[in-house]
Amino acid sequence: MNTDTEMTPSVVDRATYEADLDALRVREKAHTHEGDAIAAARRRLPMVGVDPTITVVGPHGPVSLLDVFEGRSQLIAYFHMWHTGHSAAEQCEGCTFFNGQVRELSYLHSRDVTYATLCQGPYDVSLRYRDFMGWDVPWYSAQDAADALLGDRPRSPAPLVCYLRQEDRVFETFWTSGRGLEPMAPTYGLLDMTAYGRQETWEDSPRGWPQRWERRTRDIMRTDGRPTAQWSRLADGHPDDLLG
Protein backbone atom coordinates (compact mmCIF):
# COMPACT_ATOMS: atom_id res chain seq x y z
CA MET A 1 0.00 0.00 0.00
CA ASN A 2 1.26 3.44 -0.90
CA THR A 3 2.25 5.58 2.12
CA ASP A 4 3.99 8.38 0.22
CA THR A 5 2.69 11.77 1.37
CA GLU A 6 4.95 13.83 -0.87
CA MET A 7 2.38 13.95 -3.68
CA THR A 8 0.06 16.96 -3.43
CA PRO A 9 -2.58 18.64 -5.60
CA SER A 10 -1.30 20.96 -8.30
CA VAL A 11 -0.83 24.62 -7.37
CA VAL A 12 -2.88 27.14 -9.39
CA ASP A 13 -4.00 30.74 -9.07
CA ARG A 14 -7.06 31.64 -6.99
CA ALA A 15 -9.35 32.17 -10.00
CA THR A 16 -8.59 28.71 -11.43
CA TYR A 17 -9.05 27.11 -8.02
CA GLU A 18 -12.44 28.80 -7.51
CA ALA A 19 -13.60 27.88 -11.03
CA ASP A 20 -12.80 24.20 -10.47
CA LEU A 21 -14.47 24.32 -7.06
CA ASP A 22 -17.60 25.89 -8.58
CA ALA A 23 -17.78 23.06 -11.09
CA LEU A 24 -17.56 20.51 -8.28
CA ARG A 25 -20.29 22.36 -6.35
CA VAL A 26 -22.76 21.53 -9.14
CA ARG A 27 -22.12 17.83 -8.58
CA GLU A 28 -22.23 18.23 -4.79
CA LYS A 29 -25.64 19.88 -4.99
CA ALA A 30 -26.94 17.13 -7.27
CA HIS A 31 -25.65 14.57 -4.77
CA THR A 32 -27.40 16.40 -1.92
CA HIS A 33 -30.66 16.58 -3.84
CA GLU A 34 -30.49 12.86 -4.65
CA GLY A 35 -29.94 12.18 -0.95
CA ASP A 36 -33.04 14.25 -0.19
CA ALA A 37 -35.02 12.22 -2.72
CA ILE A 38 -33.84 8.93 -1.18
CA ALA A 39 -34.79 10.18 2.29
CA ALA A 40 -38.22 11.13 0.94
CA ALA A 41 -38.64 7.59 -0.43
CA ARG A 42 -37.51 6.19 2.91
CA ARG A 43 -40.29 8.16 4.63
CA ARG A 44 -42.78 6.45 2.32
CA LEU A 45 -41.68 2.90 3.11
CA PRO A 46 -44.25 0.59 4.74
CA MET A 47 -43.60 -0.67 8.26
CA VAL A 48 -43.86 -3.99 10.04
CA GLY A 49 -45.12 -4.76 13.53
CA VAL A 50 -42.73 -5.76 16.30
CA ASP A 51 -43.66 -7.36 19.62
CA PRO A 52 -43.45 -4.44 22.10
CA THR A 53 -43.03 -6.83 25.04
CA ILE A 54 -39.67 -8.17 23.85
CA THR A 55 -37.37 -7.78 26.84
CA VAL A 56 -33.92 -6.23 27.03
CA VAL A 57 -31.80 -5.57 30.12
CA GLY A 58 -31.09 -2.03 31.29
CA PRO A 59 -29.72 -0.33 34.42
CA HIS A 60 -32.76 -1.33 36.45
CA GLY A 61 -33.07 -4.86 35.12
CA PRO A 62 -35.33 -6.27 32.40
CA VAL A 63 -37.51 -3.79 30.52
CA SER A 64 -39.69 -4.03 27.44
CA LEU A 65 -38.77 -2.64 24.03
CA LEU A 66 -41.57 -0.15 24.60
CA ASP A 67 -39.70 1.22 27.63
CA VAL A 68 -36.56 1.83 25.56
CA PHE A 69 -38.45 4.61 23.72
CA GLU A 70 -38.31 6.66 26.96
CA GLY A 71 -41.80 7.95 26.17
CA ARG A 72 -40.87 9.29 22.74
CA SER A 73 -42.53 8.27 19.48
CA GLN A 74 -39.43 7.06 17.63
CA LEU A 75 -36.38 4.99 18.48
CA ILE A 76 -33.05 4.52 16.72
CA ALA A 77 -31.37 1.37 18.06
CA TYR A 78 -27.79 0.38 17.27
CA PHE A 79 -27.12 -3.34 17.80
CA HIS A 80 -23.53 -3.13 19.07
CA MET A 81 -21.62 -6.38 18.50
CA TRP A 82 -20.02 -8.15 21.43
CA HIS A 83 -17.23 -10.72 21.64
CA THR A 84 -18.07 -12.66 24.79
CA GLY A 85 -15.10 -13.61 26.93
CA HIS A 86 -12.73 -11.26 25.10
CA SER A 87 -10.85 -8.27 26.51
CA ALA A 88 -11.62 -4.64 25.76
CA ALA A 89 -8.78 -4.58 23.23
CA GLU A 90 -10.47 -7.40 21.32
CA GLN A 91 -13.94 -5.85 21.15
CA CYS A 92 -15.44 -4.76 17.84
CA GLU A 93 -13.44 -1.93 16.25
CA GLY A 94 -16.28 -1.07 13.85
CA CYS A 95 -18.91 -0.71 16.58
CA THR A 96 -16.45 1.29 18.65
CA PHE A 97 -15.85 3.57 15.67
CA PHE A 98 -19.52 4.16 14.81
CA ASN A 99 -21.24 4.04 18.19
CA GLY A 100 -18.55 6.20 19.79
CA GLN A 101 -19.33 9.15 17.52
CA VAL A 102 -23.00 9.42 18.50
CA ARG A 103 -22.73 11.71 21.52
CA GLU A 104 -25.07 14.74 21.61
CA LEU A 105 -28.62 13.40 21.74
CA SER A 106 -30.58 16.57 22.53
CA TYR A 107 -31.25 17.36 18.86
CA LEU A 108 -32.71 13.88 18.35
CA HIS A 109 -34.82 14.31 21.49
CA SER A 110 -36.14 17.63 20.20
CA ARG A 111 -37.56 15.68 17.24
CA ASP A 112 -39.16 13.12 19.57
CA VAL A 113 -36.49 10.51 18.77
CA THR A 114 -34.60 8.34 21.29
CA TYR A 115 -31.21 6.83 20.50
CA ALA A 116 -30.13 3.71 22.37
CA THR A 117 -27.48 1.02 22.09
CA LEU A 118 -28.81 -2.54 22.22
CA CYS A 119 -25.62 -4.49 22.84
CA GLN A 120 -25.52 -8.09 21.69
CA GLY A 121 -23.59 -9.07 24.84
CA PRO A 122 -24.36 -9.32 28.58
CA TYR A 123 -25.32 -6.10 30.32
CA ASP A 124 -22.87 -5.81 33.24
CA VAL A 125 -19.73 -6.63 31.25
CA SER A 126 -20.64 -4.60 28.18
CA LEU A 127 -21.64 -1.62 30.35
CA ARG A 128 -18.09 -1.61 31.69
CA TYR A 129 -16.94 -1.22 28.11
CA ARG A 130 -19.31 1.70 27.57
CA ASP A 131 -18.00 3.36 30.73
CA PHE A 132 -14.36 2.68 29.78
CA MET A 133 -14.99 4.39 26.43
CA GLY A 134 -16.64 7.38 28.14
CA TRP A 135 -19.94 7.03 26.32
CA ASP A 136 -23.17 8.11 27.97
CA VAL A 137 -25.78 6.90 25.48
CA PRO A 138 -28.59 4.74 26.89
CA TRP A 139 -27.25 1.17 27.02
CA TYR A 140 -29.14 -2.12 27.09
CA SER A 141 -28.31 -5.77 26.62
CA ALA A 142 -30.21 -7.45 23.80
CA GLN A 143 -28.25 -10.67 24.22
CA ASP A 144 -31.41 -12.74 24.67
CA ALA A 145 -33.61 -10.56 22.44
CA ALA A 146 -31.47 -10.22 19.31
CA ASP A 147 -32.99 -13.24 17.59
CA ALA A 148 -36.50 -11.89 18.05
CA LEU A 149 -35.56 -8.34 17.02
CA LEU A 150 -33.19 -9.07 14.14
CA GLY A 151 -34.39 -12.39 12.79
CA ASP A 152 -32.21 -13.61 9.92
CA ARG A 153 -30.43 -10.30 9.36
CA PRO A 154 -26.64 -10.35 9.59
CA ARG A 155 -25.22 -9.38 12.99
CA SER A 156 -21.94 -8.21 11.47
CA PRO A 157 -21.66 -5.40 10.58
CA ALA A 158 -24.00 -4.47 13.40
CA PRO A 159 -27.32 -3.16 12.11
CA LEU A 160 -29.04 0.10 13.00
CA VAL A 161 -32.83 -0.19 13.22
CA CYS A 162 -35.50 2.54 13.34
CA TYR A 163 -38.78 2.01 15.17
CA LEU A 164 -42.03 3.96 15.49
CA ARG A 165 -44.34 3.76 18.50
CA GLN A 166 -48.08 4.26 18.35
CA GLU A 167 -49.28 4.15 21.96
CA ASP A 168 -48.52 0.54 23.01
CA ARG A 169 -47.71 -0.74 19.52
CA VAL A 170 -44.21 -0.80 17.98
CA PHE A 171 -43.30 -0.92 14.31
CA GLU A 172 -40.00 -1.26 12.48
CA THR A 173 -39.68 1.37 9.74
CA PHE A 174 -36.11 1.02 8.43
CA TRP A 175 -32.83 -0.76 8.99
CA THR A 176 -29.35 -0.53 7.54
CA SER A 177 -25.83 -1.89 7.97
CA GLY A 178 -22.40 -1.71 6.34
CA ARG A 179 -21.80 1.64 4.67
CA GLY A 180 -25.36 2.58 5.55
CA LEU A 181 -23.96 3.30 9.03
CA GLU A 182 -21.74 6.13 7.80
CA PRO A 183 -24.15 8.90 8.94
CA MET A 184 -23.24 7.79 12.49
CA ALA A 185 -19.61 8.77 11.85
CA PRO A 186 -18.93 12.40 10.90
CA THR A 187 -15.26 11.42 10.75
CA TYR A 188 -15.81 9.88 7.32
CA GLY A 189 -17.62 12.93 5.95
CA LEU A 190 -14.85 15.20 7.18
CA LEU A 191 -12.13 12.99 5.72
CA ASP A 192 -13.94 12.98 2.37
CA MET A 193 -13.47 16.77 2.25
CA THR A 194 -9.68 16.57 2.64
CA ALA A 195 -7.12 16.32 -0.14
CA TYR A 196 -6.14 12.74 0.73
CA GLY A 197 -9.63 11.50 1.63
CA ARG A 198 -9.98 8.39 3.79
CA GLN A 199 -6.64 7.03 2.56
CA GLU A 200 -8.21 3.64 1.89
CA THR A 201 -7.22 1.42 -1.02
CA TRP A 202 -10.69 1.25 -2.60
CA GLU A 203 -10.85 5.02 -3.16
CA ASP A 204 -10.34 6.54 -6.60
CA SER A 205 -7.41 8.83 -5.81
CA PRO A 206 -4.68 10.29 -8.01
CA ARG A 207 -1.58 8.19 -8.49
CA GLY A 208 0.82 8.66 -5.60
CA TRP A 209 -1.83 9.63 -3.03
CA PRO A 210 -1.41 7.91 0.38
CA GLN A 211 -3.68 4.87 0.69
CA ARG A 212 -2.62 3.19 3.90
CA TRP A 213 -5.62 1.05 4.78
CA GLU A 214 -7.47 -1.85 3.20
CA ARG A 215 -11.21 -1.65 3.94
CA ARG A 216 -11.59 -5.38 4.52
CA THR A 217 -8.99 -5.58 7.29
CA ARG A 218 -9.51 -4.81 10.97
CA ASP A 219 -6.56 -2.41 10.95
CA ILE A 220 -8.68 0.24 9.27
CA MET A 221 -10.18 1.12 12.66
CA ARG A 222 -7.37 -0.13 14.90
CA THR A 223 -4.05 1.27 16.09
CA ASP A 224 -1.40 -1.04 17.60
CA GLY A 225 -3.87 -3.85 18.09
CA ARG A 226 -6.73 -1.91 19.69
CA PRO A 227 -9.74 0.03 18.46
CA THR A 228 -8.13 3.42 17.86
CA ALA A 229 -10.36 5.39 20.24
CA GLN A 230 -9.26 3.27 23.21
CA TRP A 231 -5.79 4.78 23.39
CA SER A 232 -6.98 8.20 24.56
CA ARG A 233 -9.03 6.55 27.30
CA LEU A 234 -6.03 4.57 28.52
CA ALA A 235 -3.87 7.69 28.40
CA ASP A 236 -6.38 9.41 30.69
CA GLY A 237 -6.10 6.58 33.19
CA HIS A 238 -9.40 4.80 32.59
CA PRO A 239 -9.21 1.06 33.37
CA ASP A 240 -10.19 -1.36 30.61
CA ASP A 241 -10.82 -4.40 32.83
CA LEU A 242 -14.26 -5.68 31.82
CA LEU A 243 -14.51 -8.10 34.71
CA GLY A 244 -14.05 -5.56 37.47
* Domain closes at, from 6, 28, 45: 45
- Residue 187 forms part of a structural domain: no
Per-residue pLDDT for the chain (244 aa), expressed as one digit of tens each? 445 557 899 999 999 999 999 999 999 999 999 999 999 999 999 999 999 999 999 999 999 999 999 999 999 999 999 999 999 999 999 999 999 999 999 999 999 999 999 999 999 999 999 999 999 999 999 999 999 999 998 888 899 999 999 999 999 999 999 999 999 999 999 999 999 999 999 999 999 999 988 877 788 999 999 999 999 999 999 999 998 7
Range of the domain at 24: 16-45
- Residue 234 forms part of a structural domain: no
- Residue 95 forms part of a structural domain: yes
Q: How far is residue 100 CA from its own chain's centroid?
A: 7
pTM of the model: 0.93
Asked if residue 165 and residue 132 are part of one domain, the reply reads: yes
Kindly provide the b/e burial profile for residues 87-108, where b requires at least 16 CB atoms within 10 angstroms of the residue's own CB: ebeebbbbbbbbbbebeebeeb
Asked if residue 61 and residue 141 are part of one domain, the reply reads: yes
Are 222 and 123 contacting, i.e. CB atoms less than 8 angstroms apart?
A: no
Asked if residue 104 and residue 149 are part of one domain, the reply reads: yes
Domain total for the chain? Answer: 2
Asked if residue 64 and residue 176 are part of one domain, the reply reads: yes
CATH number at residue 59: 3.40.30.10
Asked if residue 114 and residue 54 are part of one domain, the reply reads: yes
- Residue 11 forms part of a structural domain: no
- Residue 125 forms part of a structural domain: yes
